[in-house]
């Protein structure tokens, strides 16, 4: 009887040891991925504000600083080959931009953000990057922000080699800023701000990355 109990205990211990080894293997094979945070600087190119919703708070030539946050492991929602579309509907994903005393940012309670990557798409083929935030918080002066978008194109079709979400900031030397960064909204009438991103990098402890307020 004692020999049988010893054998049973030994088998149980062996099973627990194998289970722990298997668990360790799984944790290494499927590590948790942290969200990608990209910090960028954009220079204002044009301000259309006939109703003075912005009260001259943003001028041509001003610099804006912002961050984009997304999950690099998000599943693609577009079945079309050559175009990858990724949807985000929860925090902390979205975009935030500091423009002087004004802050443009995704509404954390109603996140509706998409990133679309085009690889060798169209005739002639070209690459494209398009980020859009549709639900955004109002500005501190009460003006609504209806849309925030950032678009890049590459007519040589060399900027991307797939439609997978990148784990690094866009290499701006490979892209052309066609429409660039666009901020749209209204108070009494519509306003539109267009800017071009001139710097982009992954957020690190050594870089100040704007955070949601």
Q: For 88-111, what is each residue's pLDDT tens digit?
A: 999 999 999 999 999 999 999 999
**pTM check: above 0.85:** no
Question: What is the DSSP code string of the chain?
Answer: -HHHHHHHHHHHHHHHHHHHHHHHHHHHHSPPPPPEEEEEEEEEEEEE-TT-TTTT-S-TT-EEEEEEEE-TTPPP---STTEEEEEE-STT-EEEEEETTEEEEB-TTS--EEEEEEEEETTTTEEEEEEEE-SBPPPTTS-EEEEEEEEEEETTS-S-SSSSPPSS---GGG-EEEEEEEEEEESSSEEEEEEEEEEEEE--TTS------
| Residue 213: predicted pLDDT | 67
Statement: residue 4 has pLDDT above 70: no
- What's the sign of the alpha-carbon dihedral 126, 181, 138, 70? positive
Residue range 194-210: average pLDDT? 94
Poorest-pLDDT segment among 29-43, 74-88, 141-155, 158-172: 29-43
Poorest-pLDDT segment among 2-6, 92-96, 118-122, 198-202: 2-6
């Amino acid at each position: 009887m004692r020999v049988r109990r010893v054998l049973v205990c030994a088998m149980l211990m062996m099973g627990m040891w194998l289970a722990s080894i298997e668990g360790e293997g799984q944790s290494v094979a499927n590590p948790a991925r942290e969200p990608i945070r990209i910090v960028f600087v954009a220079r204002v190119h044009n301000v259309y504000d006939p109703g003075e919703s912005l009260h001259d708070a943003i001028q041509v030539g001003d610099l804006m600083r912002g961050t984009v946050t997304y999950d690099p492991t998000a599943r693609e929602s577009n079945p079309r080959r050559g175009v990858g579309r990724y949807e985000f509907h929860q925090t902390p994903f979205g975009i935030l931009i500091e423009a002087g005393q004004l802050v443009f940012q995704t509404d954390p309670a109603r996140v509706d953000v998409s990133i679309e990557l085009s690889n060798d798409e169209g005739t002639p083929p070209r690459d494209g990057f398009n980020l859009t935030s549709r639900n955004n918080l109002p500005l501190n002066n009460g003006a609504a922000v209806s849309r925030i978008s950032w678009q890049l194109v590459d007519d040589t079709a060399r900027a991307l080699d797939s439609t997978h979400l990148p784990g690094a900031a866009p290499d701006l030397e490979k892209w052309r800023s066609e429409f660039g960064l666009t901020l749209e909204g209204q108070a009494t009438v519509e306003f539109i701000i267009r800017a071009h991103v001139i710097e982009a990098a992954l957020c690190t402890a050594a870089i100040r990355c704007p955070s949601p307020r």
